A = this chain, B = another copy of it.
Amino acid sequence: MIKITFPDGAIREYAKGSTALDIAKSISEGLARKVLAASVNGQVWDATRPILEDSTLKLLTWSDTDGKSTFWHSSAHLLAEAVESLYPGVKFWVGPAVDNGFYYDMDLGGQQITEEDLRKLEAKMAELAKKNEVYQRKEISKGDAVKYFSDKGDEYKLDLLQNLKDGEITFYTQGGFTDLCRGPHIPNTGFIKAVKLTNIAGAYWKGDEKNKQLTRVYGVTYPSQKELDEYLVLLEEAKKRDHRKLGKELGIFTFDDEVGPGLPLWMPNGAIIIEELEKLAKESEERAGYKRVVTPHIAKESLYITSGHLPYYQDSMFPPMELEGVKYYLKSMNCPHHHKIFAAEQKSYKDLPYRLAEYGTCYRYEQSGELFGLMRVRCLHMNDAHIYCTREQFYEEFKAVNEMYLKYFKIFGIDKYVMRLSLHNPAKLGQKYIDEPELWKETETLVRDVLIRTNTPFVEVQDEAAFYGPKIDIQIWSTIGREFTLATNQVDFAQGRRFKLEFTNRDNQTENPLIIHRAPLGTHERFIGFLLEHYAGKFPVWLAPLQVKILPISDKFLDYAQNLLQSLKNADIRAEIDDRSEKIGKKIRDTELSKVPYMLVIGEKEMNDNKVAVRRQGKGDLGVKTVDEFIEGVKLEIRSRSSE
């Protein structure tokens, strides 16, 4: 018998050689039908592989990332089987799972796969899946493996074999298809109920453009047709809401080759959104007692040695500039500069909590290949702040930060979010984590309490804290259900000491403050990218670059339009006149397309009555209102940052 320890700590005995699937069945048949793979002693395994010793076990299903990627990797094998049956002689390179599905790279030996062919391959995959073929694992000697692929004439797999050690090589076979593969795989093909091949692309062998170009087929599979359909709808919607597409159409941002990749230039409409977000941050931070500061974008090497960014964070920093024999670095974070402001004047406990805020612009190095629109950039405008406080003040301060997050979620209509509380590992104190067991316990408890008492949904993750304290990563979901990671909210006991930040306590002794690092609105780049998708570019009035468009029915009403424009401007409403000699229908259509929230149609009647006919983007006619009535309504909508 072997002892199996479950995630909840329960321990049960099973016959030696039991598989994860056996164990699942012993719990319930329903559960067994969902098991895709298993985590055995922290390693992802086939659910059908015999367990031979005492182990920890976690059953992996569709709701686990590892379960999903096992499912998709097995789908890549299914794709290969289908391709091989329709394109005899095809040779395969690699077929991994990716973020949303899988791909397989293949050498079709001069044959082509067209969009139409993808439909045929999907049908073939579905047909093969229904056979419930088992994914059979087989350990094989290097000699036998080489012989197998030599006989098959597959130079790609032979190339892969070169780098593998004898005794560590496995084959997986389902139906008539055998692949060199480390695994793991799902129990059988029957789990794959819905298939969509999404794309064909060229890919150089080993990513090197000097090599032969292979064909890469992308696909995604689901355990039910319903889930696949939902995903495809989401995909379609996400395409329409692609922040890069909308960002260009709406004049939000642009990139320029001579400026450089990952360095967005914010166009006038983007700058308005930035201003509004900064205004929001400033207002809430001022109300919460923050002080603003402004710090340079560079500093000497020695600052980053003190902070520990050098060498620990060097890979994410821009290379230095050497000036008068001294190296200067672009800042990748604002904290060291803020610490210097804290230290510039003597502090006593009466000055704490001391909260320094700055929409600071940081520069981080990301590889060109990793850059992606506003989501992965090299220039980041961060809604940053650092709170220096005593231990006694910590709970209230952390709670206030958390409340600020929740307030923002409400403003932006973010209904789904999870905070990921990353804790330390007591076994690694003094190595991965600063050796302050009491402070760890204390702050982790305080942070957890805040989350519980404020009913904030959260999950706990062991052994993922920052080296200087526990942290919270915030994950949010856009209206269409895509997940984004926003900024982190961190506790820090280390930097205060590294920077010799001190205050005099009530007993007239010097102490180091605790520091909270927080950035509820994250960076402009990622947040505006998120908002573009979230609102599909149809920003709520307070954020809309242009809030009102005045549409005169003919040139006769241009004077009235001008008066109206002035009244709107006096009320700080961003407005323009469509003074083109176009039919009103076209003016309305064009304005709808440019996603301006309000349209004011004006003709004879409106002019004579000093009124406006109001249309709301996406909602149509709202009827005729007096100018004052309309202005008051919009002002209220802006002031309340309504996103109805």
A contact residues vs B (CB 8 Å cutoff): 251, 254, 256-260, 263-268, 270-272, 274-275, 291-300, 302-303, 306, 318-324, 326, 328, 330, 337, 340-341, 343-345, 356, 358, 361, 363, 365, 367-368, 379, 381
Contacts and interface: CB of A to CB of B under 8 A. Distances in A.
A197 B294 CA distance: 41
15 contacts: A254-B344, A256-B340, A256-B343, A258-B306, A259-B295, A259-B296, A264-B296, A265-B296, A267-B344, A267-B345, A268-B291, A268-B356, A271-B293, A294-B381, A298-B318
A477 B416 CA distance: 58
A299 B344 contact: no
Nearest to A381: B294
Nearest to A268: B291
Nearest to A272: B292
Contacts of A365: 323
Contacts of A328: 260, 318
Nearest to A263: B296
Nearest to A545: B291
Contacts of A267: 293, 341, 344-345
A173 B87 CA distance: 104
Given A254-B344, A294-B270, A323 B319 contact: yes
Contact of A263 (B271, B299, B367, B368): B299
Contacts of A302: 258
B300 A259 contact: yes
Given A319-B321, A320-B321, A328-B318, A299 B268 contact: no
Contacts of A358: 271
A291 B318 contact: no
A310 to B, nearest CB: 12
A260 B320 CA distance: 14
Given A267-B293, A318-B321, A320-B321, 20 more contacts: A254-B340, A254-B341, A256-B344, A258-B302, A258-B306, A258-B340, A259-B340, A260-B296, A260-B298, A260-B328, A263-B296, A265-B341, A266-B295, A268-B292, A271-B294, A272-B292, A294-B381, A296-B379, A297-B379, A298-B318
The interface centre, meaning the residue of A270, A292, A294 with most chain B CB atoms within 10 A of its CB, is: A294
B294 A297 contact: no
A304 to B, nearest CB: 9
A640 to B, nearest CB: 17
Nearest to A299: B259
Which of A274, A292, A326 has the most chain B CB atoms inside 10 A of its CB? A292
A319 B328 CA distance: 10
A570 to B, nearest CB: 11
Contacts of A318: 298, 321, 323, 328
Given A321-B321, A340-B258, A344-B254, A268 B293 contact: yes
Contacts of A256: 340, 343-344
Contacts of A293: 265-268, 270-271
A263 B298 contact: yes
B303 A259 contact: yes
Contacts of A340: 254, 256, 258-259, 265
Contact of A363 (B258, B263, B298): B298
A326 B260 CA distance: 9
A186 B263 CA distance: 58
A327 to B, nearest CB: 10
A328 B379 CA distance: 13
A294 B322 contact: no
Contacts of A300: 257-260
Given A318-B328, A322-B319, A344-B265, A259 B292 contact: no
A324 B368 contact: yes
A326 B275 CA distance: 32
Nearest to A292: B271
Contacts of A264: 296
A330 B265 contact: no
Contacts of A295: 259, 265-266
B298 A361 contact: no
A176 B27 CA distance: 115
A16 B251 CA distance: 72
Nearest to A318: B321
A28 B381 CA distance: 67
A487 to B, nearest CB: 19
Contacts of A322: 319
A140 to B, nearest CB: 41
B320 A294 contact: no
Contacts of A326: 260
Contacts of A381: 294
Nearest to A317: B321
B345 A251 contact: yes
A291 B267 CA distance: 9
A275 B358 CA distance: 12
A318 B322 CA distance: 8
A274 B292 CA distance: 10
A112 B218 CA distance: 87
Which of A251, A272, A344, A361: most chain B CB closer than 10 A? A344
